[in-house]
Structure 1
């Protein structure tokens, strides 16, 4: 029998201090050459071990081999200049120094496939691998070439699809596309965002997921959340179209936010990764708090469709806090399993 409420993370986990500066996005590597390659593999082993010990069911690489969830993929494409970075405003919230598109973008070689093969060799558990979504990629660079968001998104989708097919062949069970931009550019999501996402998943037979959160626990994001009012209803605008899409799983931010849980009814038939861990605070959730979030989700979705998860990536947290949050997630899911069994 398949386990109910299989737990997972949204993606990134903190890196060891010997690999990169802790609690920081875009943290530079502390190693180089062969030492960096070995260091990344060691960090991946550590990250896997921490997930396994914490009781996480669907494991990932913890994004140990990449500096950032979007730009690492972009930097490996042709047509992108990451020597002469430009400053852009990301998701209308904060400025960042990002690569620029200066010619036709295409994928010349695999980006994460060797890492995925390595992870697959280290575990028998189901593996989830995160890739940036096309719309979020468009929003995380400076486009000097296409000067059209939709056109660029579809070029990215083509490159993502090539990568995703190779990741599937390497033994990845779930391929997740991170689309935090889906909570910002609501009209574009329905106009072309979901279509671009489906282009990225074309021909895949493994499960596909889209992760739509309110962002990492960095100041720019937490400040933005304070402006969103008493109820965050962004999901209502896009879920009807996502529900009709071919994406199997939708990963959401549900804990400590102001998302009305009834939005889950708009995803009928989909599996839902319910974010039950707040990544924007150092406070460790109790297993009972996690269970309470899952109980609330059960009012609007079937038990076999709920996958307890973190709200977003945990790269900016300390390793100790991330570890305890993962333990709470697993323990909270176990409470609900026992309640349903009784």
Structure 2
């Protein structure tokens, strides 16, 4: 990226009202069959256009063709039975009914490559695509086959690497792996989590990113955050490991969080994608709010290594709120660009 302080979103945007129920996370589709296929791609084109009009530099699909950031990918793999459900504790926070791994997991064909090619054709700007990370994938399943979180994570890492290479071939410039589980399972993070992530990103020419956040603004996450004390220092576990890793970009939650900004120093040398938009609130940040958040990070990251985004996805927000937050993000980065140049 030649632009100073390039702007982008982390993952999801709200879907149009004709595609799924608004302001609801993981809402079911309203369309079916061919209409659904066309509707998803129409929504993706619309999301790309809205990001560009808002002034963002790097365009994402807004996850318009996905219902869920993890399970939509898993649905396309062999070896997972979605009719056999078990209740598991997700990221030590809340119980959920999840599908079961019943035999060896494999990917018969690319999952998102055609959608990515559609996005590539919709814009001349750099594009970014998000995939779930291996540790977050295993935390969203019941494993009745491998009986080992580590073994299953390595299987998923290999599959993710195949998918990432297909995305790269479709024209994706930045491939982001979502690993909120890195803020929870610190022993696994150290033992094999970062290594599995590197396996997923192995051999790519595209830039690679890992997104680690404190989650959507849903009650289970808000309640968990309330238990974390005056300072959230979970990043101190992952950042030193990621600083030594092959991953290019680390995406973190910052604005309106209790993350001490100085933890960014632990990533020195990496590109930092700073969350300058709060996705757990309908309040629209001012451009100066965004500039202030970015400014606070500059002692800890070189200005040419600082990117800016939201704290997490914006799927549960109203479309107008998400649009105005993207505009604030772009305008806030512009304020700081002018100061720095």
Tell me the secondary structure at the aligned position of residue 51 of structure 1.
Answer: helix
Q: Which residue of 1 aligns with 2:299?
A: 299
Q: Contact 1:239–1:266 at 8 Å: present in 2 too? A: yes
Q: Which runs of 5+ in 1 are unaligned?
A: none
Q: Contact 1:75–1:99 at 8 Å: present in 2 too? A: no
Offset at residue 25 of structure 1 (A): 2.1
Distance 1:86 1:240 in 2: 35
1:163 to 2:175 alignment? no
Distance 1:143 1:65 in 2: 26
Q: Which residue of 2 aligns with 1:202?
A: 202
Q: Which residue of 2 aligns with 1:152?
A: 152
Tell me the secondary structure at the aligned position of residue 128 of structure 1.
Answer: strand
Q: Contact 1:180–1:215 at 8 Å: present in 2 too? A: yes
Q: Which residue of 1 aligns with 2:99?
A: 99
**Structure 1 vs Structure 2 CA RMSD:** 0.9
Counterparts of 1:71-220 in structure 2, within 5 Å, are 71-220=71-220
Offset at residue 204 of structure 1 (A): 0.6
Q: Which runs of 5+ in 2 are unaligned?
A: none
Tell me the secondary structure at the aligned position of residue 307 of structure 1.
Answer: strand
Offset at residue 95 of structure 1 (A): 1.7
Offset at residue 237 of structure 1 (A): 1.4
Q: Contact 2:277–2:290 at 8 Å: present in 1 too? A: yes
Offset at residue 63 of structure 1 (A): 0.2
Offset at residue 229 of structure 1 (A): 0.2
Q: Which residue of 2 aligns with 1:258?
A: 258
Distance 1:311 1:302 in 2: 20
TM-score (norm 2): 0.99
Q: Contact 2:268–2:300 at 8 Å: present in 1 too? A: no
Q: Which residue of 1 aligns with 2:42?
A: 42
Q: Which residue of 2 aligns with 1:322?
A: 322
- Of residues 181-190 and 89-98 in structure 1, the stretch that sits farther from structure 2 once superposed is 89-98
1:68 to 2:64 alignment? no
Distance 1:169 1:324 in 2: 33
Tell me the secondary structure at the aligned position of residue 230 of structure 2.
Answer: coil
Tell me the secondary structure at the aligned position of residue 199 of structure 2.
Answer: helix
Q: Contact 1:40–1:64 at 8 Å: present in 2 too? A: yes
TM-score (norm 1): 0.98
Offset at residue 147 of structure 1 (A): 1.4
Distance 2:302 2:222 in 1: 31
Offset at residue 286 of structure 1 (A): 0.6
Q: Contact 2:213–2:253 at 8 Å: present in 1 too? A: yes
Tell me the secondary structure at the aligned position of residue 60 of structure 2.
Answer: coil
Q: Which residue of 1 aligns with 2:311?
A: 311
Q: Which residue of 2 aligns with 1:338?
A: 338
Offset at residue 328 of structure 1 (A): 0.5
